[in-house]
Structure formats: structure tokens, C-alpha cells
A and B are shown apart, each in its own frame.
Chain A
């Protein structure tokens, strides 16, 4: 795998993260299902996944960049597993509506494991690390991916602030705390 292909794959990874963050927002807004604290933590882990690919786009592929992604994916998978285990109980249908048969946290676990496997596979190809001192030449496709993911992360920050207000998030949120406090009694 050449550095150019590694940069392309990392860019596609950024777009995949962007699609996941937008999809989560889509279900939050259209199905009116507010994310629980563990759901928000999984979104945080998805944004953490983007740091490694951005470093690769800026400085070229390096093993440490894949290491950053693996750490983020391990954190996300751990959080998702916790939520999966929470709902293995008689009569518990899970939190939120299922998407294609699985709940969001189950899909999140699958995506985090896929990210770990993809990084492990990418680390097998040493040729991408051969041109260490040359920053990759980037086009609009790559630059847009970086700024769109940063924008989606800031959008999540605004949404989390609206939902949780200035305190810890409730375990089972039913409304936007910050909007509720402005309503007349």
C-alpha cells in the first residue's frame, strides 16, 4: 500500500465517521429519541476515531496515528459493550428503536471492532511508512472531510449542551434541559 492509497483510505474513514455522526443526528431529530449518557459517550468515541486519520492526512501515514485510532476504538467498544450488557435482561427491549434489527449501541460496537481490524490490517503494509518526511498533497475531497468532521463534532457539542444543560446528563433524557428551563412555569 502506497502512502497515497493510505491517505485515500483514511479520508474514506473520515467520511464514514461523518456518516455515522449525521445518521445519529438524523434519528435524534426525526424519531425524537434523545441520546442517553452512554450513547453520547459512544458519539464522543466516534469523534475520537477521527483524530488518527486527520494526523495521517496532515503528516502522512505513521504507526502512531493508527495507534491513536485503535485506542479511540477500544474506548468506544468498551462503552458500547457496557450498554449492550445493560439490556441483557428479561423483558428488556433495549434503549431506543432498533435500526435494521440492531440498536445503535450494537452497531457502534460493530463499527468500533471494524475500525480496530482495519487499523491492524493497515499496519501490515510497511510501504506506506517509507516516505516519512513528505506531507501528502491534498485536494478538496480530503480537506473537506477534515472540516466536515470537526463541524459535526461542534454540532454534537451544541446538541449535548441543549440536552444536558449545565449539569450531568440524566440517565433517561426525555427533553432538552436548556430549552425546558426557558419555558414559562
Chain B
């Protein structure tokens, strides 16, 4: 559900980028990028098993 919501939020951002006003598109983009970061942190909390 979280990924679907994120895709929809970016689709809405694109829609506002297209129909305007651009300020709304920029604000939605900022919100969506922050939420992407939050979802990333949720899924990337495990230790990396690095072995070079």
C-alpha cells in the first residue's frame, strides 16, 4: 500500500507539473521525495554484508 501510495503521489505530482501551478508540483515533489526517503530507511535498516 505504501509503494502504491508513493506511485500515485508521483503521478499526481506529474499531473500538477502538467496542468499547474508549478509551485504545487514542486511542493508535492518535495513531499514525495521525503516519503521515498522514509520508506527507503524502513527497508534499508539491515547491516550490509560487505565482503570485498
Which residues of A are in contact with B by a Cβ distance under 8 Å? 37-38, 40-41, 43-45, 47-48, 50-51, 54-55, 57-59, 64, 68, 71-72, 75, 78-79, 82, 85-86, 88-90, 92, 146, 149-150, 153-154, 156-158, 160-161, 163-169, 171
Q: Which residues of B contact A88 (CB under 8 A)?
A: 50-52
Known: A51-B25, A157-B5. 8 other contacts (CB 8 A): A38-B44, A41-B43, A51-B29, A71-B33, A75-B37, A146-B14, A150-B14, A169-B2
Q: Which residues of A contact B33 (CB under 8 A)?
A: 48, 71-72, 75
Q: A54 touching B18 by the CB < 8 A rule?
A: yes
Tell me the nearest residue of chain B to A41, going by C-beta. B40
Q: B7 touching A160 by the CB < 8 A rule?
A: yes
B44 to chain A, nearest CB (A): 5
Main secondary structure of the interface of B (DSSP, over half): helix
Main secondary structure of the interface of A (DSSP, over half): helix
Interface footprint category on B: 20 to 34
Q: B40 touching A79 by the CB < 8 A rule?
A: yes
Q: Which residues of A contact B10 (CB under 8 A)?
A: 44, 47-48, 50-51, 153
Distance between Cα atoms of A157 and B3 in the complex (Å)? 7
Partner of B4, one of A41, A57, A92, A157: A157
Q: Select the residue from A71, A79, A163 with max chain B CB neighbours within 10 A.
A: A79
25 A-B pairs, CB-CB below 8 angstroms? A37-B43, A41-B40, A41-B43, A44-B6, A44-B36, A47-B7, A47-B10, A51-B10, A51-B13, A58-B17, A59-B20, A75-B36, A86-B49, A146-B14, A150-B11, A154-B7, A157-B3, A157-B7, A157-B8, A161-B1, A164-B2, A165-B1, A168-B42, A169-B2, A169-B43
Q: Which residues of B contact A41 (CB under 8 A)?
A: 3, 36, 39-40, 43
Q: A90 touching B17 by the CB < 8 A rule?
A: no
Distance between Cα atoms of A85 and B25 in the complex (Å)? 33
Known: A41-B40, A75-B36. A51 touches B17 (CB 8 A): yes
Known: A54-B18, A153-B10, A160-B3. A48 touches B29 (CB 8 A): yes
Distance between Cα atoms of A75 and B39 in the complex (Å)? 12
Q: B7 touching A44 by the CB < 8 A rule?
A: yes
Q: B50 touching A40 by the CB < 8 A rule?
A: no
